[in-house]
């Protein structure tokens, strides 16, 4: 058994690396989104500032693992085997849970995940021990094993942080925007300097309180070096002389900001980059222990057990685990380096950051979330409330306020989600709230704070207008629901895993390792499997001319038509052979194509607007090609849906002549698809004449088959379901053919 427990320690160490990776992917949203959303600098520059913050935070991290060892449960009531199974269950559950959220692109709280995993694992083992015939303890003894008060405090802290962060972000940024308006460049010399000084002062205080103060926690006076002792006294002085310190800090930053502005530099850019650095440093300095705290506690437990002579693990009490132990600095720096490498090379970080940016962006674009009845009800309520509330204010006052929230009509560069004023507000408000919670020793999730502040500032900036409000509200509610589900799922998964390990030991360990490998494989396979390769969006190109429009349009159109051809072929083969699997695959493929086309549909207006400086017919041609493509998608929708519906409901199969007709039609349609691909890829207009002849054959064949269907109905050869299905396939095959021909003719006339 000694080898078994040493193997678990090795597994815990390896799992800590994976936990660092999935944890960083999830938490990158906290410190990257304001900089990325405002495009304050190139992504490389932003990543450098974030990397420096992570490295410095890891270097200064105290590594105190209070929660990992004794924050949720009392180690003195557990044996070594119990503790090691709890820690292993926590790591396995935490990794799987965070990876699921990362794949879905939803940010969640690593702190909540870890705490509730610990709670679930400890609860499960405690219940096994209480209900054991050897102990036979009453149920209320569970409070000896689990620190219920601590758990309740964390839960309340989660709920309050969501409400306070959203409210603070909304109201504070409302006044900031009223001061600056959207034409903030004109006010940088006066209001900009004041706001920048306030922001930088708050974030510097945040850096000291959340960073250095946390670093010295857990040290005794004998353990402090000269410099550390000086820092500790300095922090105590700050707490007792806060206003004096803040005035000195504000004055210093005001002078620096004045110097920046005098040289013509946009001081808000520095504020956003500095805020990115400070949040990244705080994240690494404090949240780092969320990922490595459990393995370190496991190693510490193993050392305590081994130094005691390796007694029976099921009888060795872990009371000694209650003490404070420092993590070696080299281990923390190594962990920080893994996180930096993940930040630079993991593509999943972009997936997580895109969710918050999509929900908070100021400009138009594709909405990631669908509306629901609850979000629609919320929006209608606030529309009604707003109309009633603003009746109490004079119209002149409302008009004056409205001017500050009127966006510039000038065309925005690139795809900036929001401006530097909001980016700086996000970082400043988040820093203030986290600093207050740290000083007051309140449990807080940085993910909850930064996300909800961002949502609040976007609301006050009127990014949630009547065109997008229901989708944004629905998205926010989905993310919040995911946060609460995180705690529940973490508790259940960890509890079940701990019980599985407790009863089956080595077999359970091997099974769970295999499960982790399988989950990661499926997750990354699903994430990187792209049905249609990503293209550079056409709406990012300024001054679109005819040549660019046609080239980009056909680059987008070609993969769609290629998949539509496969979908059509599989639908015909599936219905003629009554192959349910083929039809299901065809339908699933179509739904992915339709999702891709939806992004093109959402960008239609922006693309057409970008053609205003070029030839007038460019936008018209693009619209008509889009419209013909939409007709092809709609017809494919009906064909895939109705063929699947026919087979899945076990309707009578098609007659021999019907199958023969459809296969003949499918061959002709395949030729037609092949021609349009040749035209659009080779830009060979001579092929269009050949397409016209194929189109004539297809339409003629469809009309013949429709006549056969009518005659079959008259003489009772075909049933009702068969006839309706055949008519749907024939009519929409005809529509697809004409739409393809329409695209080719539009291309020919535009040259």
pLDDT digits (tens, 9 = 90+) for 95-127: 888 888 877 777 787 778 888 888 899 999 999
Does the pLDDT value for residue 365 go beyond 70?
A: no
Model confidence at 164: pLDDT above 80: yes
338-363: b or e for each residue (b if 16 or more CB lie within 10 Å)? bbbebbeebebbebbbbbbbbbbbbe
Q: Which residue matches tokens 């992570």?
A: 54
The better pLDDT of the pair 244, 356 is held by 244
Q: What is the pLDDT of residue 731?
A: 93
What SS3 class is residue 136?
Answer: coil
Residues comprising the chain, all counted = 751
Q: Please determine, for residue 194, whether its predicted confidence score (pLDDT) is greater than 60.
A: yes
What SS3 state is found at 64?
coil
Which pLDDT score is estimated for 255?
92
Q: What are residue 284's phi and psi, to 5 degrees? A: -70, -35
Q: Write phi, then psi, for 466 (nearest 5 degrees).
A: -70, -15
Q: Check: CB of residue 301 under 8 Å from CB of residue 77.
A: no
Give, in degrees to the nearest 5, the angle at Cα 578 between 577 and 580. 125
Helices assigned H by DSSP within 181-241 = 193-207, 213-215, 226-240
- Under 8 Å CB-to-CB from 607, ≥6 apart: which residues? 538, 539, 544, 619, 622
Return the residue matching tokens 């007792």: 240
- Cα separation, 343 vs 57, in Å, equals 15
Tokens of 659: 């199958």
Q: Per-residue confidence at 285, pLDDT binned at 50, 70, 90? A: low
The number of CA neighbours under 13 Å toward the Cβ of 637 is 12
Structural tokens at position 567: 């979908």
pLDDT 10s digits, 392-439? 778 777 777 777 777 765 444 456 778 888 888 988 888 888 777 766
Q: Looking at per-residue confidence, does 59 or 38 come out higher? A: 38
Instruction: Inform me whether the pLDDT recorded for 541 exceeds 60.
Output: no
Judge contact between 12 and 265, C-beta under 8 A: no
Query: Most confidently modeled of 28-32, 404-408, 466-470, 512-516?
Result: 512-516
Q: Find the mean pLDDT for residues 225-235.
A: 65
229 vs 531, more confident: 229
Is the pLDDT at 544 greater than 70? The verdict is no
The full DSSP string for 20-43 is HHHHHHHHHHHHHHHHHHHT-S-H
Model pLDDT, residue 531: 44
- Decide: 332 and 24 in contact? Cβ < 8 Å: no
Element (H, E) at 51: helix 43-60
* Cα gap 151→574, rounded to integer Å: 55
Task: Summarize the confidence of residues 501-524 as an average pLDDT.
Answer: 86
- Cβ–Cβ < 8 Å for 576, 586: no
pLDDT at residue 497 tops 90:
yes
pLDDT reported for residue 623: 82
Q: What is the 3-state secondary structure (H, E, C) of 140-171?
A: HHHHHHECHHHHHHHHHHHHHHHHHHHHHHHH
Lowest-confidence region among 87-91, 130-134, 732-736: 130-134
Q: How far apart are CA 318 and CA 296, in angstroms?
A: 15
Class level of CATH domain 541-750: mainly alpha
Contact 391, 488 (CB under 8 A): no
The two three-digit tokens of residue 178, written as one number: 């009223």
Burial class from Cβ neighbours inside 10 Å (0-12, 13-18, 19+) for residue 277 reads buried
DSSP 429-481: HHHHHHHHHHHTT----HHHHHHHHHHHHHHHTT-S-TTTHHHHHHHHHHHHH
Q: Give backbone dihedrals phi and psi of 79, rounded to 5 degrees, phi first.
A: -90, 170
pLDDT(707) > 80:
yes
Nearest C-alpha neighbor of 638 from the set 567, 710, 718, 582 = 567
pLDDT band at 640 (very low <50, low <70, confident <90, very high): very high
State the pLDDT at residue 28: 77
CA dist 62 and 65 (Å) reads 9
Instruction: State residue 638's pLDDT score.
Output: 93
Each residue's pLDDT tens digit, 664-701: 999 988 888 887 777 766 665 555 555 677 888 888 88
Q: Residue 63: its pLDDT value, please?
A: 46
Of 325, 343, 312, nearest in space to 23 by CA: 343
Q: What digits encode the pLDDT tens for the residues 719-739?
A: 888 888 999 999 999 999 888
Instruction: Please calculate the CA angle 203-205-211 and round it to the nearest 5 degrees.
Output: 90
Q: Is 13 helix (H, G, I), strand (E, B) or coil?
A: helix
Is it the case that residue 535 has pLDDT exceeding 50?
no
Task: Give start-end residues of each CATH 1.20.58.220 domain in the chain.
Answer: 541-750
CA distance 372 to 470: 8
User: What 8-state DSSP symbol labels residue 538?
Assistant: G
- Confidence category of residue 539, pLDDT binned at 50, 70, 90: very low
**Pairwise pLDDT comparison (45 vs 673), residue with the higher score:** 45
CB 611, CB 619: distance < 8 Å: yes
Q: 537 pLDDT exceeds 60? A: no
pTM: 0.75
Q: How many CB atoms lie within 10 A of CB 8?
A: 21
Q: Is 62's pLDDT higher than 60?
A: no
Burial environment of residue 79 by CB neighbours within 10 A (0 to 12, 13 to 18, 19 or more)? buried
β-sheet bridge partners, residue 73? 146
- Cα-based distances in Å from 722 to 128, 575, 709, 717: 60, 11, 10, 10
DSSP 354-376: HHHHHHH-SS----SS---HHHH
Pair of tokens at residue 668: 């002709």
Which among 235, 243, 242 has a CA at the least distance from the CA of 215? 235
Percent of the chain with pLDDT over 90: 12
**Torsion angles phi and psi, residue 146, rounded to 5:** -110, 135
Per residue in 324-333, pLDDT (tens digit) is: 555 666 777 7
* Mean pLDDT to the nearest integer, 374-390: 81
Closest-CA residue to 740 (of 666, 680, 686, 684): 680
Read off the pLDDT band of 42 (50, 70, 90): confident
Q: What Rg value do the Cα atoms of the chain yield, rounded?
A: 31
Using the predicted structure, report yes or no on whether residue 542 has a pLDDT greater than 50: no
364: closest CA among 454, 465, 452, 460? 465
Q: Which residue has the higher pLDDT, 538 or 23?
A: 23
Query: Which of the pair, 514 or 619, is modelled with greater confidence?
Result: 514
Query: How many other C-beta atoms can be found within 10 angstroms of the C-beta atom of residue 698?
Result: 22
Q: Which whole number is the average pLDDT over 5-15? A: 88
Mean pLDDT of the chain: 80
Mean pLDDT comparison of 365-379, 592-606, 656-670, highest-scoring range: 656-670
545 pLDDT tier (thresholds 50, 70, 90): low
């Amino acid at each position: 058994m000694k080898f078994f427990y040493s193997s678990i320690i090795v597994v815990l160490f390896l799992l800590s690396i994976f936990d660092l990776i999935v944890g960083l992917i999830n938490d990158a949203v906290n410190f990257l989104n304001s900089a990325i959303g405002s495009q304050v600098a190139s992504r490389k520059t932003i990543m450098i500032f974030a990397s420096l913050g992570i490295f410095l935070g890891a270097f200064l991290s105290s590594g105190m693992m209070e929660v990992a060892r004794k924050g949720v449960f009392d180690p003195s009531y557990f044996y070594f085997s119990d503790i090691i199974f709890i820690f292993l269950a926590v790591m396995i559950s935490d990794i799987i849970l965070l990876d699921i959220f990362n794949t879905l692109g939803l940010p969640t709280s690593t702190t909540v995940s870890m705490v509730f995993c610990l709670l679930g694992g400890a609860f499960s083992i405690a219940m096994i021990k209480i209900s054991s015939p050897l102990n036979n303890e009453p149920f209320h003894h569970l409070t000896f094993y689990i620190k219920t008060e601590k758990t309740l405090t964390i839960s309340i802290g989660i709920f309050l942080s969501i409400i306070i962060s959203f409210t603070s972000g909304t109201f504070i940024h409302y006044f900031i925007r009223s001061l600056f308006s959207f034409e903030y460049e004109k006010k940088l010399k006066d209001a900009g300097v004041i706001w920048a000084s306030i922001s930088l002062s708050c974030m510097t205080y945040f850096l000291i309180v959340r960073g250095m103060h946390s670093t010295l926690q857990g040290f005794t006076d004998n353990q402090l070096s000269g410099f550390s002792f000086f820092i500790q006294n300095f922090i105590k002085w700050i707490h007792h002389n806060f206003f004096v310190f803040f005035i000195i800090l504000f004055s210093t930053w005001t002078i620096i900001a004045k110097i920046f502005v005098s040289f013509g530099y946009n001081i808000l850019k520095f504020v956003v980059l500095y805020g990115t650095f400070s949040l990244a440093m705080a994240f690494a300095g404090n949240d780092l222990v969320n990922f490595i705290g459990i393995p370190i506690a496991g190693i510490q437990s193993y050392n305590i057990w081994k130094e005691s002579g390796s007694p029976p693990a099921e009888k060795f009490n872990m009371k000694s685990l209650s003490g404070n132990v420092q993590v070696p600095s080299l281990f923390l720096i190594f962990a920080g380096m893994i996180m930096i490498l993940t930040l630079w090379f993991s593509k999943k970080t972009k997936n997580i950051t895109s969710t918050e940016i999509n929900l908070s962006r100021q400009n138009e674009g594709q909405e990631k979330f669908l509306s629901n009845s609850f979000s629609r009800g919320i929006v209608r309520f606030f529309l009604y409330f707003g109309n009633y509330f603003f009746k109490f204010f004079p119209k002149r006052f409302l008009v004056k306020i409205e001017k500050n929230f009127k966006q510039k009509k000038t065309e925005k560069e690139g795809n900036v989600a929001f401006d530097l004023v909001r980016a700086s507000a996000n970082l400043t408000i988040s820093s203030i709230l986290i600093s207050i919670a740290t000083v007051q020793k309140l449990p807080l999730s940085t993910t909850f704070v930064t996300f909800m502040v961002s949502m609040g500032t976007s609301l006050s900036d009127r990014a949630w207008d009547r065109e997008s409000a229901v989708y944004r509200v629905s998205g926010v509610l989905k993310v919040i629901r995911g946060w609460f589900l995180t705690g529940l799922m973490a508790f259940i998964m960890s509890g079940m895993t701990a019980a599985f390990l407790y009863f089956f030991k080595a077999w359970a360990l091997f099974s769970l390792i295999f499960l982790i490998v399988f989950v990661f494989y499926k997750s990354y396979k699903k994430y990187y499997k792209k049905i249609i390769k990503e293209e550079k969006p056409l709406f990012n190109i300024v001054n679109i001319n005819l040549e660019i429009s046609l080239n980009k349009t056909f680059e987008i159109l070609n993969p769609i038509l290629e998949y539509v051809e496969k979908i059509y072929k599989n639908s015909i083969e599936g219905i003629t052979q009554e192959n349910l699997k083929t039809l299901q695959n065809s339908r699933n493929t179509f739904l992915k194509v339709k999702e891709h086309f939806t992004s093109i549909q959402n960008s239609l207006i922006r693309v057409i607007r970008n053609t205003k400086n070029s030839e007038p017919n460019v936008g018209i041609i693009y619209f008509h090609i889009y419209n013909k493509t939409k007709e092809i998608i709609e017809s494919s929708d009906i064909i895939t849906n109705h063929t699947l519906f026919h087979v899945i409901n076990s309707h009578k199969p098609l007659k021999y002549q019907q199958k023969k007709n459809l296969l003949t039609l499918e061959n002709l349609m395949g030729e037609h698809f092949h021609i349009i691909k040749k035209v659009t890829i080779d830009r060979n207009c001579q092929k269009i004449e050949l397409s016209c002849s194929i189109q004539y054959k297809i339409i003629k064949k469809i009309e013949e088959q429709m006549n056969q269907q009518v005659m079959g109905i008259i003489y009772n050869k075909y049933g009702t379901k068969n006839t309706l299905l055949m008519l749907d396939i024939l009519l929409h095959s005809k529509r697809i053919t004409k739409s393809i021909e329409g695209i080719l003719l539009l291309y020919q006339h535009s040259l």
